[in-house]
Amino acid sequence: MHQKQTQEILKELAKKSTDHEYYTPLPNGYAPGKTKYIIITGSVMSGLGKGIFASSLGRVFEDHGLRCSPIKFDGYLNIDAGTLNPYRHGEVFVLDDGLECDMDLGTYERFLDKNLSKENYLTGGKIFSRILSREREGSYLGRDVQFIPHVTGEIKRFLRELAMKSKADVVLMEVGGTVGDIENEYFLEAMRQLAYEEGKANCCFVNLTYVLEPEFLGEQKSKAAQLGIRRLMELGIQPDVIACRCHNPVTEKVREKISIYSNVPIDNVISIHDVESIYLIPGLIREQRLHERIIDSLRLKVKLKPEPNDWSDYVNKILHPKTKLTIGITGKYTGLRDSYASIIKAMEHAGAHNFAKIEFKWIETTEIEDGRKKVEDELKDVDGIIVPGGFGKRGSEGKIQCIKYARENNLPYFGLCFGFQMAIIEFARNVCKLKNANSTELEPNTRYPVIDILPEQKKIEGLGGNMRLGGKVVEIREGSIAHALYGKKALVRERFRHRYECNPEYIEPLEKNGLVFSGKHPEYRIMQILELPTHPFFVGVQFHPEFTSRPLRPNPLYMGFVKACLKK
């Protein structure tokens, strides 16, 4: 359909809301065809890596000069990911604007090297909340509010608003879950409608499917993939590309079967098999020239370019390390590695730039706490430890034991958020001799509340009884370890997610005994970085530096930690 015709039809549809079945709200100034949409779905099973695939495709497009804006839809009815248990959904990633979201947005930020915002994340709860608010305001002109056209119409509005605000050439839309799930069916219907309204040249559907390869058979089987794709086609969506996830490269025979079954040309049925690093996926896409075919189908005018040298150099460092480090992660969610996804990636970034392969030893601190394991046995074979963020009492005493061991044995230590607080408690107890010092989160009636929520803190930046979230400025003390690591910057911006703080009443005795607070709030006595100058590396931060680490720009604190571990 001609772009001008599409624009006129959309304008007409946008006007029809009371006497017609259409509901197509358009943002002011929206022009169909200016932004292209790539919709990425999954079939057979969840957890295939749609976020990694979408990020890799976006990386390749960005390398060709196209401006990409990714968005993730999660079907659950939570407004955001803030209350989700890491065991159920992986880590909660925090954007600079304070939105708590799915970990895939962290993948997007790392691959595309750009900060995202609340416009890049949509949940079922968020869209229904918007719709109910509009209904109460009378925005639907007395209509009975229905999934079609109102829910689908509001989803399309959200996407088009993102397209306009981001000024994107391409919006990469990842549909969470699996085709066939009840919670994303209405969203897929909205995507079908979007393609109908925008026109074929403006939308591309990519289905990431799974090709089984049972060990007992010794061959690849495509039947499950075929049935999953058929389910998508039953919803009125014809995929343009099929990306096949598999342990080994997908055979031509299997690609032919899937091609015939799905009406997708065999050149558009590609293999996304397991590789040594996720940062090799953009290269895999380039090798199979998928980006070229999508660029052609969407009629994007770009000049094809080779992979940038800095990205290929980074990948080369990952593949050819000169040494190995073993880092202990001391936590209570160690049964699910996705709970610490950003920490793992930040360590990989810093490790690669130091030509080191990072291996992790997962230390369950509840087992140290209850005496099933000894701290010296758990930490004797690691080159450094990280105490990550967390909430609640379980496992906290085990973390404190690990910190004490690291401090006394010159083992490089990096405390993140909760790890910052636990380091203060350990130091207060064992160096300042404040027996049983604690956090009021863990022990409300503790005699020495070195960690607390203070009345003056509750008033700052809308903290209240809720989280302190998102990007905040940290003032760095001149001459400190942090000052050197940050390139002697006086102010830096990092992301926070916490409620409790270092109690200002205890700053003086802590510093008197050798603890240095090298980062603080620019205006208030809120401590945000601690360090021990006499230790090889003993640093704790109230924020999450892993959220700002990127493959080509590792976070400076992680770089410092890795270098200290290498020296050990």
CA distances, 225 to each of 13, 44, 213, 262 (Å): 36, 6, 12, 10
**Mean of the pLDDT values across residues 491-497?**
96
Residue 417: active-site member: yes
Q: What are the start-end ranges of the H helices in 3-151?
A: 3-15, 50-63, 86-89, 104-112, 124-136
Average pLDDT, the chain: 92
Tokens of 361: 């030893």
Strand order in the sheet with 449-452: 438-439, 449-452, 501-502
CB of 7 closer than 8 Å to CB of 31: yes
**Mean of the pLDDT values across residues 280-297?**
95
pLDDT above 90 as % of the chain: 80
Give the tens place of pLDDT for each residue, 368-394.
888 888 999 999 999 999 999 887 778
pLDDT at 3: 60
Whole-model pTM over 0.75:
yes
Tokens of 117: 């915002």
Strand partners, 385: 328, 413
Query: Reduced to 3 states, what is the DSSP secondary structure of residue 203?
Result: strand
345 half-sphere exposure, CB direction, 13 A CA radius: 28
CA distances, 522 to each of 170, 297, 324, 474, 525 (Å): 39, 51, 39, 6, 8
CA gap 240, 205 in Å, rounded: 5
* Cβ partners under 8 Å of residue 84, min gap 6: 78, 92
CA gap 76, 65 in Å, rounded: 35
Give the tens place of pLDDT for each residue, 81-131.
888 877 677 789 999 999 999 999 999 999 999 999 999 999 999 999 999
Residue 544: active-site member: yes
pLDDT band at 495 (very low <50, low <70, confident <90, very high): very high
Give the tens place of pLDDT for each residue, 168-223.
999 999 999 999 999 999 999 999 999 999 999 999 999 999 999 988 888 999 99
Of 485, 490, 316, 328, nearest in space to 405 by CA: 328
Q: Is the pLDDT of residue 2 over 60?
A: no
Intra-chain end-to-end CA distance of the chain, in Å: 65
Query: Reduced to 3 states, what is the DSSP secondary structure of residue 541?
Result: strand
Choose the catalytic residue: 197, 531, 544, 565.
544
Choose the catalytic residue: 417, 432, 502, 565.
417
Residue 456: active-site member: no
pLDDT at 332: 67
How many angstroms separate the most distant Cα atoms in the chain? 77
pLDDT band at 47 (very low <50, low <70, confident <90, very high): confident
Q: Is the pLDDT of residue 409 over 90?
A: yes
pLDDT band at 336 (very low <50, low <70, confident <90, very high): low
Q: Is the pLDDT of residue 40 over 90?
A: yes
121 half-sphere exposure, CB direction, 13 A CA radius: 29
Q: Is the pLDDT of residue 141 over 70?
A: yes
CA gap 469, 492 in Å, rounded: 16
CA gap 103, 111 in Å, rounded: 13
Q: Is the pLDDT of residue 46 over 60?
A: yes
Q: Is the pLDDT of residue 546 over 60?
A: yes
Q: In 57-82, which positions are buried (b, 16+ CB within 10 angstroms) versus exposed (e)?
A: bbbbbbbeebebbbbbbbbbeeebbb
Q: Is the pLDDT of residue 443 over 90?
A: yes
Of 263, 338, 420, 289, nearest in space to 103 by CA: 338
pLDDT band at 421 (very low <50, low <70, confident <90, very high): very high
On the 0-12 / 13-18 / 19+ scale of CB atoms within 10 A, 335 is exposed
Q: Which domains does the chain have, with CATH numbers?
A: 3-310 (3.40.50.300), 321-567 (3.40.50.880)
pLDDT at 464: 44
On the 0-12 / 13-18 / 19+ scale of CB atoms within 10 A, 290 is buried
CB of 55 closer than 8 Å to CB of 108: yes
pLDDT at 568: 78
On the 0-12 / 13-18 / 19+ scale of CB atoms within 10 A, 296 is exposed
CA distances, 94 to each of 100, 126, 365 (Å): 5, 17, 25
Tokens of 567: 């020296």
Q: Is the pLDDT of residue 463 over 60?
A: no
Q: Is the pLDDT of residue 36 over 90?
A: yes
pLDDT above 70 as % of the chain: 93
CA gap 395, 402 in Å, rounded: 11
